[in-house]
Amino acid sequence: MQIIEQLIREFGLRETQVQNTIHLIDEGNTIPFIARYRKEITGGLSDEILRELYDRLVYLRNLEIRKEEVIRLIDEQGKLTEELKKEILEATVLQKIEDLYRPFRAKRRTRATVAKEKGLEPLAQIILAGETTRGTVEDLALPFINEELEVNTVEEAIEGAKDIIAEIISDDADHREKIRNVNINKGIIRSEATDEEEKTVYEMYYDFSESVNRIANHRILALNRGEKEKKLKVKLISPDDEITEYLINQTVINDKAITNEVLKEAIEDSYKRLISPSIEREIRNILTEKAEEEAIKVFGKNTKPLLLTAPVKDVRVLAIDPGYRTGCKIAVLDETGKLLDYATIYPSEPQNKIKESEKIVKELIYKHDVDIISIGNGTASRETELFIANLLKEIDKKVYYTIVNEAGASVYSASKLATEEYPDLDVSIRGAISIGRRLQDPLAELVKIDPRSIGVGQYQHDLNQNKLGETLKNVVEDCVNSVGVDLNIATPSLLQYVSGISAPVAKNVVKYREEKGKFKNRKELLKVKRLGDKTFEQCAGFLRITDGTHPLDNTAVHPESYEITMELIEKLGYTAEDIKKGNLKNIDDAIQKYTEGKSKNLNKQIKILAEELGIGELTLKDIIEELKKPGRDPREEMPKPIFRSDVLDMEDLKLDMIMKGIVRNVVDFGAFVDIGVKQDGLVHISELSNKFVKDPLDVVSVGDEVEVRIIGLDIEHGRISLSMKQVTSV
């Protein structure tokens, strides 16, 4: 119940919403399924909130498991008190639990453990108690001299006692929490160069300092990388005097005790030798985890619009994977993505076979009636674009070209999957095929690649790869299920992201299709090996059959709602044939007519219908929307790629020139925009809007078509500064 109460507070949800969602998750339902088909139960929670709630639920459950484990471990030592147990049970973060467990954790052999073995713990306790006001510390230490235990002098006894005290202070949970908070609020991150004369990309950090509570996430990742590459030295500057004073005030009980000087020495040693290095690591880890978490979120938010880029349907594509020495690989694809032809041309350095290359490309365009040329944006992209732009001026057919993000194409082309698809083709030709298909159906092609290889974000290889992989996998899953999948043409790569379908089941679906022919209806899925009732429930609504035996098989209406949907259709005067022909665009009018006299408000009309049908209002609304546009692809509403017929050079650009471009990447400090030249321009966060922008993703997303003004040109270094201020987004 404690977990439920915490989730209610954190997410601002009703108790029933949290309880019902947890119940659905524990039953094994997927997030896409819950978000789409269990809205009545969750109160209409979005897939984004559901995923956040799921992640938090996992964390809190793991927290409870750790609490039980720590309590057991301390109890086994016979040191568990009711007060300590209560403190552990009330902890809300893992760090607090670990702080409380720290004094009881099995330690490697330390100076303190050596001193305890020499019998000096009672002396340490006497010094800590601070009760003695007469005599000297040496008098207190004299009884602890023991040659057998290698305590030969009072100085050795006192030093050993100080080591024990230092460790006791260092292990105190309250001290650590206080010192951690002081550093978070008042600490400074400082960096300097390991070699001031060396020119590196980290020069801005050669003499850099910023408050812990203000430093930007991308700066943390940059500092970490510079430190890892041994170009920077990074340190936490703490308010040492304030912290030491706090420790003395908390530890010294009696101002008149003869042990105070020794105790203060132990406190200073504890802080400098034990606490400070440890807390510095913790603060750096806290900052890194926060920066990584934010960077991973940015990756996810950037990946989603890239995956949901509008497909360019019913076109023949000539795709080019550009290159210098090895040439440009060409693949010609028909409207379905089937390979028709391929070739290699050498229009750039070092071979410069321009005429020969022009001849090959022209022949392929005319032979296969090519509509669009798709050019990868990697090495030699700029030179290839210039070559194509000049060539298009010489042909008597209207052909456009566009630049496609080729990130991960080389990963796909060398993969086992690509080898299975095209065993007889060169690796680089497979890369060209991928570049062409990314234009025709970006989602279907990009799911073949590990999402981490798509490369839209910052410091990709510095991040926690497991967390990044899991986040991006969830993004791909959400995208695939929001679009829906054509059951009769989908590849195993695409099917394995459908709600409830594992990679082995995805292969079984395709195998069944190859052996038995096209699926005629969704129910036929139950004949697939290892696809049982639960999997069918999870996946059926996301799979489409365009010419199936049931008219609703080409919609997002779940089979569990077929009977009610057909009852609705009949009530409104429609037939199954109307669904197939897409004749329900004016279904709202039919609803109004059916409920005439009962209400003029559409929401109330739907409520009336829902009560008659015995179905939830949210579910009914989804069904009605789906019936208006059966088989609709939500990506059709996304921006289309920009098609060009000519090329620009940086020298063609002028200050204050206004241009259209495509957002290629969004980072903490702004957005990179492709305006048709070799180098993407940067719209700094301060130039994204006339209003203050906290997060660039609040203003732009990957794939957005925007209008920008050139505010800075550095032709020598290939840098373009752009602004979206007072320029309307398209």
Q: What is the pLDDT of residue 482?
A: 93
Domain final residue pick, 295, 327, 355: 295
Nearest to 203 by CA among 231, 244, 169, 240: 231
Tell whether 160 and 232 lie within a shared domain: yes
Lowest mean pLDDT among 163-167, 273-277, 279-283, 657-661: 657-661
Look up the CATH number of the domain holding residue 507.
1.10.150.310
Tell whether 42 and 92 lie within a shared domain: yes
Burial class (CB in 10 A: 0-12, 13-18, 19+), 113: middle
Tell whether 625 and 718 lie within a shared domain: no
Digit-coded pLDDT (tens) for 9-48: 999 999 999 999 999 999 999 999 999 999 999 999 999 9
Bridge partners of 557, per DSSP, are none
Q: What is the pLDDT of residue 95?
A: 93
Instruction: Provide the total of helices (H) and of strands (E) in the chain, helices listed first.
Output: 31, 15
Digit-coded pLDDT (tens) for 610-619: 999 999 999 9
Digit-coded pLDDT (tens) for 203-233: 999 999 999 999 999 999 999 999 999 999 9
Map residue 262 onto helix, strand or coil: helix
pLDDT-derived band of residue 646, with 50, 70 and 90 as boundaries?
low
Tell whether 452 and 381 lie within a shared domain: yes
Domain count, the chain: 5
Task: Give the residue, 345 or 645, on which the prediction is more confident.
Answer: 345
| In-domain check, residue 66 | yes
- pLDDT higher than threshold 90 for residue 404: no
| In-domain check, residue 125 | no
Domain final residue pick, 104, 137, 168: 104
Q: What percent of the chain has pLDDT over 90?
A: 70
Residue with tokens 């059709």: 636
Domain final residue pick, 295, 327, 361: 295
Mean of pLDDT values over 287-294: 94
Lowest mean pLDDT among 190-204, 393-407, 647-661: 647-661
Q: What is the pLDDT of residue 547?
A: 87
Mean of pLDDT values over 699-705: 87
Q: What is the pLDDT of residue 275?
A: 97
pLDDT-derived band of residue 356, with 50, 70 and 90 as boundaries?
very high
Question: Which residues have C-beta within 8 Å of that of residue 605, sequence separation ≥ 6?
Answer: 591, 592, 594, 595, 598, 599
Tell whether 378 and 402 lie within a shared domain: yes
Burial 412-435 (b: 16+ CB within 10 A, else e): bbebeebeebbeebeebbbbbbbb
Nearest to 123 by CA among 103, 100, 149: 149
| In-domain check, residue 75 | yes
Tell whether 559 and 605 lie within a shared domain: yes
Q: What is the pLDDT of residue 730?
A: 44
| In-domain check, residue 306 | no
Tell whether 217 and 324 lie within a shared domain: no
Nearest to 433 by CA among 545, 321, 530, 519: 321
Give dist(CA 483, CA 143) in Å, integer.
Answer: 80
Residue with tokens 């609803």: 591
Domain region containing 657: 650-723
Q: What is the pLDDT of residue 661?
A: 87
Mean of pLDDT values over 128-146: 90
Q: What is the pTM of this model?
A: 0.84
Q: What is the pLDDT of residue 132?
A: 80
Q: What is the pLDDT of residue 652?
A: 78
Q: Which of 64-73, 412-421, 581-590 has the highest mean pLDDT?
A: 64-73
pLDDT-derived band of residue 729, with 50, 70 and 90 as boundaries?
very low
Tell whether 276 and 337 lie within a shared domain: no
